[in-house]
Amino acid sequence: MEFEFVTPGPIEYPAPEAIPGPSSSQFWTPGRGNSIPDYDMFIVSTLSDLSWKMRQKKEDTVSNTLSGKTAVVTGGSRGIGAAIAARLASMGAKVVICGRDRERLAKSAANIGCEAVPCDVSDWKSVESLASAVKQDHGGLDILVNNAGVADFGRPLHELPPDRWDAMINTNLRGVYYAIRAFAPLMISRGGGHIVNISSIASKNALPGGAAYAATKWGLNGLSYSVAEELRGSNVRVSVVCPGSTDTELSPHAGKDPKKMLRGEDIAHVVAMLVTQSDNSFASEVVIRPTKKP
């Protein structure tokens, strides 16, 4: 708003209707009998109103960034998955979380305000059923976050029971393959989408006592890079996020300070950035570490 200063002569103040906002009643209105405020107070009040409007506009924009979008988050009942689901829901997306623990899944969905569908990502029929339900209820999918994972730490590979090896391979790697196989066609039919695979810093370093887990995450990175090229032409962007030490139930915390570790919300922030990047950009990988070593 521009003001023209004329000397000598009285200053003309705009009517309240000219500057809508929560404190318009503070303005002077000609012919209504209220006293003329100090000009400085008028400027302060005007700037306060404009600032309030800008904040409201920014909040509304953020909360509606993903309006009309549908997202599926595997392993969404706890930890990083629940934080990601909550962040996407707060941005206006219709979120569906899945997991194997029905009770915990229902509780998390109630807290987040999203849908919950029981699903075991290591079982193709279960994933196929989830995809069918999403297609029927939402018509397709825009965002897939492959977060479900299991781990076994604290012993060398030669002491790891075969069933624990199978559990990690089937959930951490096969589960991602199943989810992409089931949901990528829904994204392609919609003209594009985002697939975000949650890996680990263990995919970048040696992990004594967690060789099998590290193997699944190294494999997940390779899968992500390759699928990203396969789906690029269909406007489906595939990204991989590699978090460092994160305070969850999954990671080993021996000798580490939880206060210095990453939180699920930190990972959710990165996912939010990935699914809202500009149409002309493609961030294929993000490595995120705690500011201070825990």
* 86, pLDDT greater than 80: yes
The answer on 237 and 133 residing in a single domain is yes
Contact 98, 126 (CB under 8 A): no
* 71, pLDDT greater than 90: yes
**What pLDDT is stored for residue 149 in this prediction?**
96
With CA atoms as reference, report the closest residue to 264 among 245, 281, 247.
247
Q: Are strands 94-99 and 70-74 parallel, antiparallel or unpaired?
A: parallel
- 220 part of a folded domain: yes
* 3, pLDDT greater than 60: no
The answer on 75 and 25 residing in a single domain is no
**What pLDDT is stored for residue 255 in this prediction?**
73
**What pLDDT is stored for residue 248 in this prediction?**
81
DSSP string, 2-34: -----SSSPPPPPPGGGS-STTGGGS--TTS-P
The answer on 226 and 86 residing in a single domain is yes
**What pLDDT is stored for residue 169 in this prediction?**
98
CATH of the domain at 195: 3.40.50.720
255 or 204: whose pLDDT is higher?
A: 204
- The domain of 55 spans 16-61
Given pLDDT bands bounded at 50, 70 and 90, which one contains residue 63?
Answer: low
With CA atoms as reference, report the closest residue to 288 among 277, 272, 230.
272
**What pLDDT is stored for residue 262 in this prediction?**
94
3-state secondary structure of 209: coil
* 185, pLDDT greater than 70: yes
**What pLDDT is stored for residue 79 in this prediction?**
94
Q: How far is CA 168 from the centre of its chain?
A: 24
* 88, pLDDT greater than 70: yes
Contact 133, 117 (CB under 8 A): yes
User: What is the chain's mean pLDDT, rounded?
Assistant: 85
- Contacts by residues 170-174 (CB-CB < 8 Å, ≥ 24 positions apart): 170/122, 171/121, 171/122, 172/148, 172/213, 172/216, 172/217, 172/220, 173/216, 173/219, 173/220, 173/223, 174/122
The answer on 212 and 97 residing in a single domain is yes
CA dist 87 → 95, 218, 243, 277 (Å):
10, 27, 17, 15
The answer on 166 and 218 residing in a single domain is yes
**Considering its fold, how many domains does the chain have in total?**
2
- 6 part of a folded domain: no
Q: Which of 43, 61, 79 is the last residue of a domain?
A: 61
The answer on 76 and 54 residing in a single domain is no
CB atoms within 10 A of CB 208: 11
pTM of the predicted model, to two decimals?
0.79
The answer on 190 and 50 residing in a single domain is no
- 79 part of a folded domain: yes
Rounded distance, CA 140 to CA 188, Å?
9
* 171, pLDDT greater than 60: yes
Model confidence over 117-156: pLDDT tens digits? 999 999 999 999 999 999 999 999 999 999 999 999 999 9
Average pLDDT over residues 203-218: 96
The answer on 82 and 158 residing in a single domain is yes
The answer on 238 and 95 residing in a single domain is yes
The answer on 185 and 41 residing in a single domain is no
Rounded distance, CA 99 to CA 189, Å?
26
CA dist 57 → 18, 64, 87 (Å):
18, 11, 19
- 4 part of a folded domain: no
Catalytic residues: 213
**What pLDDT is stored for residue 247 in this prediction?**
83
Residue type, 211: A
* 17, pLDDT greater than 90: no
The answer on 99 and 46 residing in a single domain is no
